[in-house]
Amino acid sequence: MVSPLDNKAVVAATIGSRIRALRQRLRRTLQETATMAGISKPFLSQVERGHATPSIATLSGIARALGVTVQYFVENQDKAQAVSRSENLKFFGFAGSANQFGRLTNSGANRLLEAHLVRMPAGEAASEVATSAVEEFMYVMSGEVQLKLEGTTFVLQAGDTAHYESSVPHEWVNTADEESVFVWVGTPKLF
């Protein structure tokens, strides 16, 4: 039987590792994240290593700094289900972007492929897309997406696709008067 103290340690380690993984995927330093969350760098380091448990207010600040909700860190993400139901699709965003991302694939430690449904509002300005993926694939479902690859602009419309290496500087832009929706697939991961 697991004691309550052991359970607290497991929860702290799980939350800490999720924070560290997301921070690293976003290519943020400990100092940047701590400053944005309103906490000290040493405390954030302790949290990430599972040596400290953040309060709800602190976890909320960390989540806000990393552009996710608190649920991202506390929901059970160990479900290795092969099927994702449409009614369970939840969209999330990142600070500084109006784009919304809906995870289409289940997360897991051994998963290399990740897919998201991306909703770009009309007139969404260019923003460089930072991923940890090596390859990326896009399928435009509706609207229009301008994909800039190393200075060359491609206008993608419903049914168009793009497949490119992530190391090539790239941006997604929606200059149309309607929302654009596309499927983004990357390997290994978006973040």
Per-residue pLDDT of 176-185, as tens digits, reads 899 999 999 8
Question: Do residues 175 and 97 both lie within one domain?
Answer: yes
Residue 149, class by beta-carbon neighbours within 10 Å (0-12 exposed, 13-18 middle, 19+ buried)?
middle
- CATH of residue 128's domain is 2.60.120.10
Question: Do residues 62 and 37 both lie within one domain?
Answer: yes
Q: How far is CA 81 from CA 84, 85, 106, in A?
A: 7, 10, 7
The pLDDT value given to residue 43: 94
Can you tell me the distance from the alpha carbon of 90 to that of 95, in angstroms, rounded to the nearest whole number? 17
Question: Do residues 133 and 62 both lie within one domain?
Answer: no
154 within a domain of the structure (yes/no): yes
Question: Do residues 180 and 92 both lie within one domain?
Answer: yes
Question: Do residues 94 and 183 both lie within one domain?
Answer: yes
Question: Do residues 60 and 110 both lie within one domain?
Answer: no
Average pLDDT score over residue span 8-37: 89
Per-residue pLDDT tens digits for 81-95: 677 778 888 887 776
Question: Do residues 47 and 111 both lie within one domain?
Answer: no
Per-residue pLDDT tens digits for 129-159: 556 568 889 999 999 999 998 889 999 999 9
Question: Do residues 61 and 97 both lie within one domain?
Answer: no
Which regions of the chain does DSSP assign to beta strands (E)? 91-92, 100-103, 114-120, 127-128, 135-142, 144-149, 152-157, 161-165, 170-173, 180-187
Structure tokens at 180: 């654009």
Can you tell me the distance from the alpha carbon of 173 to that of 88, in angstroms, rounded to the nearest whole number? 27
The pLDDT value given to residue 158: 94
79 within a domain of the structure (yes/no): no
Q: Are 130 and 169 in contact (CB under 8 A)?
A: no
Range of the domain at 36: 4-74
**Poorest-confidence range of 39-43, 122-126, 154-158?**
122-126
Question: Do residues 52 and 144 both lie within one domain?
Answer: no
Question: Do residues 68 and 153 both lie within one domain?
Answer: no
Question: Do residues 92 and 70 both lie within one domain?
Answer: no
The pLDDT value given to residue 60: 87
Better pLDDT: 70 or 40? 40
Question: 42, 74, 106 — which closes off a domain?
Answer: 74
Local confidence band at 4 (pLDDT 50, 70, 90 cut-offs): very low
CA angle 89, 16, 52 (to 5 degrees): 140
Q: What three-state secondary structure class fits 6?
A: helix
Mean pLDDT of all residues in the chain?
82
pTM: predicted TM-score of the whole model, two decimal places:
0.55
81 within a domain of the structure (yes/no): no
